[in-house]
Amino acid sequence: MSAASTRIERLRASLASSGLDALLVSSLPNIRWLTGFSGSNAMVVLTQDDCALLTDFRYATQVKHELTSGVRPVIEGASIWTGLWALLKSMPAVSVLAFESAHISHQDAARFLDAAGEGSRWRWRPALNLVEILREAKDADEVARIRTAVRIAEEALARTLPEVRAGMTELAVAGILERELRTAGSEGFPFETIVAAGARSALPHARASTNAIAAGDLLLIDFGALHAGYCSDLTRTFVVGRAPDARQVEIHAVVREANGSASALVRAGMRGRDADALARDYIQRRGMGEAFGHSLGHGIGLEIHEAPRLAKTAESPLPAGAVVTIEPGIYLEGWGGVRIEDDVWLASDGAEVLSCFDRDLLQLG
């Protein structure tokens, strides 16, 4: 059985245990994980004996190459909703259907929840995370894709750093990095590349701007690569144009120790909050707990932020097979910020840090 058809069988088991005849899958990452389809317009209806993917004419050729065995394409010429009603009418055993309540607009939900609508002949149930829960544990193929996405990101960063100089804008650095990501094989950018210099590095989600990098500035770069649909997510912090000062060295050392010990100790089976504490307790002991205002990490996969979470409020255990980020940071308003982020695979027999790019406070330019 292929990995993808195992996925379909696992989702069928979860439908059966929830008393559902069918699930309407509308999240594109969920559709990709389940069927292999990577296009931008589709819905999937999964029942115990059918898995139909509805899409439009633009993807008629693509589906022939992408769909996993056991998935039947339905090319709809009018609208995907017209196609959906026709498809459901051809499935007489389907009465109770779930929809993905986190992934459907109010306008679209009205098509089947309004009593007057065509969809009202079926009984609809909102469902949360039925597919996402199954996506948390990655199979060997998914880990291999993420591993390649990490390698591409590291190669691009290595080619970018020698070009960075004081006086360049953050956007110019982001441009070089994105060019190198493409050159190294990245299909795109899983999120907007963060390049933040000086005091702006204290903004954990700063966008690259037209601000010029000054000599002596911290430079925080947070970015990722995409390979075969899968993301990597890395952060390193540097100093530009001058040797780092004592404060920069001190703060960086705290973040590096928090990153290193959390990466070494994180394990599958640990609650998300206990994983978060691996880094947070150390930063707190160093008196900088207030300056670490976000959670320690998140799952990565087809999406850049997915389950599980490594956070103070995350009670669930981290599943074996998940790939998560470990990204402690310290942010001091008006001074700057340091973050070091790595990607870690929580294999059942231990954890492996997939990213290995130099974590020293390197001087650029």
User: Which runs of consecutive H residues, i.e. helices, occur in 136-242?
Assistant: 140-160, 170-184
Number of residues that bind Zn ion (CB under 5 A): 5
**Binding of residue 237 to Zn ion (CB under 5 A):** no
Among 222, 276, 303, 306, binds Zn ion (CB under 5 A): 222
Q: Given the complex with Zn ion, which of 72 and 294 has the nearer CB atom?
A: 294
73 vs 224, which CB is nearer to Zn ion? 224
Query: Between 136 and 341, whose beta carbon lies closer to Zn ion?
Result: 341
What is the C-alpha separation between 231 and 150, in angstroms, rounded?
A: 8
CB closer to Zn ion, 110 vs 158: 158
3-state secondary structure of 37: coil
296 in Cβ contact with 310 (< 8 Å)? yes
Taking CB under 5 A as the binding criterion, the range among 54-62, 99-107, 117-125, 235-243 that sits at the site for Zn ion is 235-243
Closest contact distance (angstroms) between CB of 327 and Zn ion is 5
Site string for Zn ion, 270-309 (x = CB under 5 A): ----------------------------------------
- 142 near Zn ion, judged by CB under 5 A: no
> Applying CB under 5 A, does 233 fall inside the site for Zn ion?
yes
In the complex with Zn ion, which residue's Cβ is closer, 68 or 325? Answer: 325
- Sole binder of Zn ion in the list 325, 337, 340, 355 (CB under 5 A): 325
Q: Which is nearer to Zn ion, 119 or 299 (CB)?
A: 299
Q: Kindly state the smallest distance separating residue 253's Cβ from Zn ion, in Å.
A: 21
CB of residue 355 vs Zn ion: minimum separation in angstroms?
11
Give whichever of 204 and 319 is closer to Zn ion, judged by the CB atom. Answer: 204
* Smaller CB separation from Zn ion, 155 or 222: 222
Q: Which of 188, 248, 178 is nearest to 208 (CA)?
A: 178
Tokens representing 72 are 């039947």
The nearest distance, CB 155 to Zn ion, in angstroms, is 17
Task: Please report how close the Cβ of residue 348 comes to Zn ion at its closest, in angstroms.
Answer: 23
Phi, then psi, of 126 in degrees rounded to 5: -70, 140
Pattern 337-356, Zn ion, x by CB under 5 A: ----x---------------
Residues contributing to the site for Zn ion (CB under 5 A): 222, 233, 235, 325, 341
